[in-house]
Amino acid sequence: MQPNAEAGVTTATFRWRAILAAVLAVVGLAATACLVRHPVMPAASGTAPSAIPAPAVDEPATGRPKAETAVLAGGCFWGVQGVYQHVKGVNAAESGYAGGNAATANYETVSTETTGHAESVRITYDPAQVTFGRLLQIFFAVVHDPTELNRQGPDVGPSYRSVIFAQDPTQRNIADAYIAQLNQAGVFRAPIVTSVSPRTQFFPAEAYHQNFFDLHPNNPYIVANDLPKLDALRSTFPDLYRG
């Protein structure tokens, strides 16, 4: 995933980026698939992570299945996956694509910004340790900026949009209530543009995208854009941080 700061990047450029990423993956150099342009702040619109309140509506910590699934999209999936892999109660986090169909669920095609997919992360978690509402609190506080439309920092296009793919009515109610709560409280300086969409098929991303955050901590894109998010998780949610 190679970020760009201009919306006018051509389809040819997107294709070139995808081909480059694939070639680099083959030779074990996928760490340069993203090139840093501008850092993404860990909190949205100048808001401190600590200012993001916990959701007033949440699932119970008991009486739920031992393993549940959440699918969240908030920009480059490297950082989203990386943050949630360090959250207590998260059993697995996988980068992938959601919102489009199977035929176009591959990096090269998604990068054309014509498929309807969003770069997403499928999170498997234990609600007895971390609830869906707490996952959303982390999502809004440190993972991404929910006020940016069809982009995230230097990454531009609808595949980088902010989406909560609700897996069931309970998640839908929690997500809708939390967004309303944050908007009513005026937590962010701009309106939240995060959408809440119904459950859709999730397609795992290519192998070279998986665990990229932990495998390439010195990659310039990770250093500038994603390590600050992990630092914010550690300092803001010490009870949920897992080293």
Catalytic annotation present for 34: no
Residue type at position 28: G
CB 98 within 8 A of CB 47: no
Q: How far is CA 43 from CA 50, 126, 137, 166, in A?
A: 9, 26, 12, 23
Q: Is 69 helix (H, G, I), strand (E, B) or coil?
A: strand
Of residues 198, 170, 226, the one with CA closest to residue 31: 226
Chain centroid to CA 35: 18
H helices then E strands: how many in the chain? 8, 8
Of residues 134, 95, 115, 113, the one with CA closest to residue 14: 113
The DSSP letter of residue 27 is T
Helix (H) or strand (E) holding 109: helix 107-110
Active-site residue identified among 30, 52, 76, 224: 76
The C-alpha atoms of residue 141 and residue 7 are separated, in whole angstroms, by: 26
The C-alpha atoms of residue 123 and residue 128 are separated, in whole angstroms, by: 15
Residues forming the active site: 76
